[in-house]
């Protein structure tokens, strides 16, 4: 699985394109989706070059995997939608063609701030 260094999220990671940043650490960057589908629509991406969840799962280090999963929780807390301080959220990762993935850098969507609705159309 080859990684396209010119995908839009790679450019955001290199600061070549701006984003509305929510959180950043050693493992993840999180920013608001440019085309929000819910009141809150954030994206969380690993800093490493991974095309999708399968690529990540097979190649990422344990620290990167833990960093990404923990990152989702940190960001949900920051947005006040985690289940301990808020009303919850949905996180999804679209994978490749049938999953409807448009940007070929692994990303989790975080939807919240209102009832998210049915899981699939």
Q: Which residues are catalytic?
A: 107
Asked if 7 is part of the footprint of ligand DGP (rule: CB under 6 A), the reply reads: no
Minimum distance from residue 39 beta carbon to ligand DGP (Å): 15
Residue 6 or 62: the one with the smaller Cβ distance to ligand DGP is 6
Among 69, 74, 103, 116, binds ligand DGP (CB under 6 A): 103
DSSP state of 109: E
Q: Which stretch binds ligand DGP (CB under 6 A): 26-34, 56-64, 83-91, 111-119?
A: 26-34
Q: How many helices (H) and strands (E) does the chain have?
A: 4, 5
**Alpha-carbon separation of residue 13 from 8, 44, 107 (angstroms):** 9, 12, 12
Indicate the Cα dihedral angle 84, 62, 5, 16, nearest 10°.
40
Nearest-approach distance from CB 84 to ligand DGP, in angstroms: 27
28-67 binders of ligand DGP (CB under 6 A): 31-35
Residues 109, 91 contacting (CB under 8 angstroms): yes
Which residues on neighbouring strands pair with residue 90, listed in sequence order? 111
Please report, as ranges, the residues that interact with ligand DGP according to CB under 6 A: 8, 17, 19, 31-35, 94, 100-103
């Amino acid at each position: 699985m080859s990684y396209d260094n010119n995908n839009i999220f790679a450019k955001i990671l290199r600061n070549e394109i701006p984003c509305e940043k929510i959180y950043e650490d050693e493992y993840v960057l999180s920013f608001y989706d440019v085309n929000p589908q819910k009141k809150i629509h954030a994206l969380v991406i690993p800093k490493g070059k991974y095309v999708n969840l399968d690529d990540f799962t097979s190649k990422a280090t344990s620290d990167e995997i833990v960093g990404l999963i923990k990152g989702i929780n940190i960001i949900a807390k920051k947005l006040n939608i985690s289940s301990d301080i808020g009303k919850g959220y949905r996180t999804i990762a679209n994978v490749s063609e049938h999953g409807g993935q448009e940007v070929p850098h692994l990303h989790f969507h975080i939807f919240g701030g209102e009832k998210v609705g049915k899981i699939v159309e």
